[in-house]
Structure 1
Amino acid sequence: MESNPEKKYYLSLIIIHALVGMIVLWFRPISVLYATLIFGLGCYFIVKNKNQNNEALFWAAYVVGAEVFLRMTKGNIGNEYAKYCVIVFMLLGLYFKGTSKKAMPILTYLILLIPGVIIGILNLSFDANIRKAIVFNLLGPICLAIASISLAGKPVSLKDVDKLTRWMLYPIAAMLVYIFLFNPSVREVVTGTDSNSATSGGFGPNQVSTVLGLGMFLVFVRIVFFSKKIQLILFNLFFLLALSYRGVLTFSRGGVYTGMAMIAILILAIYPFISLKGKFKVNLLGGLLIFGGFLVFGYSISQTGGLILNRYKGEDALGREKASKFSGREEIAASEIQMFFENPILGVGVGKNKEYREEMTGIKAASHNEISRMLAEHGSLGVICLLILLITPLVFYFNNKQHIFLLSFFIFWLLTINHAAMRIAAPAFIYALTLLKLTIVEKPTLHRE
């Protein structure tokens, strides 16, 4: 790895991507070119280097970081562009490096998805777009399976984690700048306590919040493990606070809560293995983050006239308790649980749950919860699939305690699929990262120069 890559590249590339965010705001067609370059350059370098340096891993990480930015700027070449990119990059990685026997549980999971597809094709109405219905619901699980089969048991080092976090953060920085410039005056657009697309770059707040929460964790990792100089620490702290602020202002709580949970779990994971001096520094950093969190939330309250506080308390703009604290998602999940009990063997079939729910309840909405969707559409096979996904990373953890990021990645996947299903590629790819074999060659230290 290059010597002192932080000083040489990190800040410069963050600034370059910030400029990309500015340019795309002024001239949106650049976003399509950006998306085209990601796929083209990714394929080129993976093939050119035969994935010798884990190019597939890093290019997949980059497109995962870029996906929501591309969606909000109309740069997506097809709605599922990022998932297709991850699948292609991972398949190229598989071609050059093969897979491990450790991927067998995930291969089983992939095979168990097939009956649900057949049932879906048979059950969907004649006027339904069968291809679209199946792709919408199944591409996320397929992306997860391909990425996991490609990465299961693959050896990586802490240096690889350094590069992985940087590559995922660069496009998130572009998105963050775009969001700030898209709507610099928050007070003018916040009128209620519902999720707010105007403060989310004009796009879905749930997905934006998810990526900003992931960004919070990635920057925290950089502060703890890869920031040696005080200037870099201060920059990353500012970066973290900016991500937190815009995450809160989406009025979508899931991503912010998930980012906080990932950080808390990482602290618990590393705490027993660091020196007393290291513990002191982690405590100091934790205290600074808590203080910074109060400042961010306090400033957000002032900018939204107190409405953001109502949102997090589950109240409407007038301070009255909302009938639904989960924006109606519990009704959708309940209908899917009912579908499971009515069709416990093979489920209603992939893509059918939306039609079935409309017939049952009159609610015309797609699932927000991957767990209840799996049960509804795959029945008992869905139960087995979920058990495979839940147990496999935990088995990997007991066999590879050095993978100190595993539980944080796992909780990101688990919490995200509960509030945002698998609309974007992030939960699929982050899940696959739990199956890497991380070896920390040098004991991680929190020593500051």
Structure 2
Amino acid sequence: MSKFDEHPTVKHWRKQEASEAKIIPSTQIDAQWLRHLCLEAGADDVGFVEIDRPEIADQRQDILAAFPPTKTLISFVCRMNRENVRSPARSVANLEFHSTGDEVNHIARQIVAELERHGIRGCNPAMGFPMEMNKFPGKVWSVSHKPVAVAAGLGQMGIHRLVIHPKFGNFILLGTILIDVNVTTYHQPIDYNPCLECKLCVSACPVGAISADGHFNFSACYTHNYREFMGGFTDWVETVVESKDRHEYRQQVSAAESASVWQSLSYGANYKAAYCMAVCPAGEDVIAPFLIRRKEFIQEVVKPLQAKEETIYVVPNSDAEAYVTRRFPHKQVKQVRNSLIPTSIRGFLGGMPLTFQREHSKGLNAIYHFTFIGAESCKATVIIRHQTLEIQNGHLGTANLAITADSKTWLKFLAKEQNIVWAIVRRQIRFQGQLRLLLDFGKCFPQ
């Protein structure tokens, strides 16, 4: 006899089970029924993707870690009010982001609750936050909503790295639900990209993160737009800690900045820009003003964001700093520390494409061999040529500069906790080749 047999809950369940007809849980549900359920809950569009879809193969492990029985991903969108997002008053735009984000989470939870009543298990990761911050600065999200939405036929990625819905444009927020059953019909990506490649996002971005040729400078976007999130917030905390007194703090942080941090802590972290979304004219419901009166559209939507006087946060000697100074001289540039600081060698190598400064790599043509020893042992080749970055495992080709480093010492050097001169003297970091290439390397990844 099980020790639980006499427990009132167990006895009640067994009595109920014996009196009711056996219901065999379904392993497959009707796609039309599920779509109707999602739309009734408030979603504006929805699509279904099987867990084994090649387009999301790189996410499979994380998805199954969050919800092991996952067989299907429900991807859905909620529309935002466009004019709120377009407003130069970013408090208005952020209210729209927060309100729609809450709506996405509420709808997802409502769908999961209804499915549970039908004997279907489900899990709804957050639209945005909270995330698994114990993994920061690595991957902290359980599901990457954008590639799931693309696989589910809800749009394609524009050059601004946002999903553009064919009807609603990029004025959407995304939600994903994981369920433990198959669906009778799965959706496929749409066969065209709604992105017009009009380049308005390129012209509106205050830090030059989006290039006309499609290149994206992740660190430029992250440093400014997400200033009051994660790494940017940590940088602010370190400024507080390092200040001797309130006078020194006030010299580094304005009253407006302190109030802005308070506001983000009190009412949810605010984005500094998101102008790329604001100016995008793509989508059947959105495109008319751009086609009918293009000059007026640019004057009303794009120009106010470009003309706005504001503080732009940049890493010193970065492409973003040079861009803002040249393109928007009326905006105030503020130098801040790079907050994308790796805590592992794997993070260092994997994060390099995110912090690579293409413009600062002009004229550099070099092969670097890294050999890390100690706590994390590995070899890697970094090739910088023609303003591109390539990273390979192992040592390939002939190195122009070979770097051998104790892994912990190298990470401390990147975090500015270790003087590289002392590390060289103690032979914790060793070089072979042209040392000037180390300086050139550093220019491509400013701290």
Give TM-score, length-normalised by structure 2. 0.27
| The structure with more strand, counted as a fraction of residues | 2
Which of these two proteins has the greater Rg computed from alpha carbons? 2
More helix, by proportion: 1
